[in-house]
């Protein structure tokens, strides 16, 4: 990784292949670490060059401020999913094409950012609904399907992929909750918005690297 100069108080995005070293002077450094399993659907980061992305970027500033506000705060599963979706959306935006603030029109960027964040929050709140999909989201936010799809493509993913990821996160939280120990995995999958248990099991294992049952056992929830 090539050295890069970062001014004090400036947020930056660092994408590394295996390991890296951070050298800094006196002062405080806030690190927001993103687990690999969270990034499987964040294609924008897969395409990002290895190294440090510098330069002022409002998305990164908001990401750091949001992360700091969550430190040490226990969150219920639904709220944790809500916050996680927002953090990942900000990260994907900063890493995506034209992610640097200087390369975007402020008015257009702000409007797209606001709409995208609004949609992410809507998905987090309604992903468990079985009738919730691309056409429903487009209608709810009064935009056509093509515009909606392009909005997510600009952030390195698709709405369908993000919706699936949100449902998987919801199911994972439910499986780890001891209060659901008496529920079948299939019931939890259905409550998270999945219609087919085989598809759910396949996607869950591909995303988290383990089966729903093994995650539940590891967390002592069943």
Q: Give pLDDT, residue 179.
A: 85
Question: How far is it, in rounded angstroms, from Cα 192 to Cα 129?
Answer: 8
The DSSP code sequence of the chain is: -------TT---EEE-SS-------SS--------GGGGTT-HHHHHSPSEEE-S--HHHHHHHHHHHHHTT----HHHHHHHHHHHHHHHHHHHSTT-SGGGS-HHHHHHHHHHHHHHHHHHHHHTT-TT-SHHHHHHHTT--HHHHHHHHHTTTS-HHHHHHHHHHHHHHHHHT-GGGTTS-HHHHHHHTT-S-HHHHHHHHHHHHSS-HHHHHHHTT--
Query: Per-domain residue ranges for the chain?
Result: 13-218
Question: How far is it, in rounded angstroms, from Cα 87 to Cα 95?
Answer: 12
Q: Give pLDDT, residue 138.
A: 93
Q: Are strands 51-53 and 13-15 parallel, antiparallel or unpaired?
A: antiparallel
Question: How far is it, in rounded angstroms, from Cα 116 to Cα 174?
Answer: 26
Q: Give pLDDT, residue 136.
A: 94
Q: CB atoms < 10 A from the CB of 221, how many?
A: 16
Question: How far is it, in rounded angstroms, from Cα 18 to Cα 40?
Answer: 16
On whether the pTM is more than 0.75, the answer is: no
Q: Give pLDDT, residue 116.
A: 86
Question: How far is it, in rounded angstroms, from Cα 41 to Cα 158?
Answer: 9
Closest CA to 170 of 47, 87, 78, 70: 78
Per-residue pLDDT tens, the chain, 222 aa: give them: 456 666 666 677 666 555 666 666 666 766 666 655 555 444 445 444 445 555 566 777 777 777 777 777 777 766 676 677 677 667 666 665 444 544 444 455 566 778 888 898 889 889 999 999 999 999 999 999 999 999 898 888 899 999 999 999 899 988 988 888 889 999 999 999 999 999 999 999 998 889 999 888 776 655
Superfamily of the domain at 13-218: Homeodomain-like (1.10.10.60)
């Amino acid at each position: 990784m090539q050295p890069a100069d970062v001014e004090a108080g400036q947020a930056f995005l660092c994408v590394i292949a295996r390991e890296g070293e951070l050298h800094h002077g006196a002062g405080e450094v806030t690190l927001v670490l993103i687990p690999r399993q969270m990034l499987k659907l964040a294609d924008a980061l897969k395409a990002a060059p290895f190294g440090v992305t510098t330069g002022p970027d409002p998305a990164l500033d908001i990401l750091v401020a949001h992360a700091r506000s969550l430190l040490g705060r226990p969150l219920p599963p639904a709220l944790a999913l809500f916050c996680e979706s927002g953090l990942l959306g900000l990260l994907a935006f900063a890493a995506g094409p034209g992610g640097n603030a200087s390369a975007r029109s402020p008015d257009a960027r702000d409007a797209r950012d606001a709409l995208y964040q609004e949609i992410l929050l809507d998905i987090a709140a309604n992903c468990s609904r079985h009738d919730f999909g691309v056409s429903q989201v487009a209608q709810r936010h009064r935009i056509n399907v093509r515009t909606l799809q392009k909005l997510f493509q600009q952030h390195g993913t698709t709405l369908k992929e993000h919706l699936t990821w949100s449902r998987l996160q919801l199911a994972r939280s439910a499986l780890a909750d001891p209060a659901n120990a008496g529920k079948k995995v299939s019931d939890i999958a259905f409550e998270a918005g999945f219609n087919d248990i085989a598809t759910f099991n396949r996607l869950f294992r591909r995303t988290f690297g383990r089966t729903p049952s093994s995650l539940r056992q590891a967390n002592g929830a069943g």
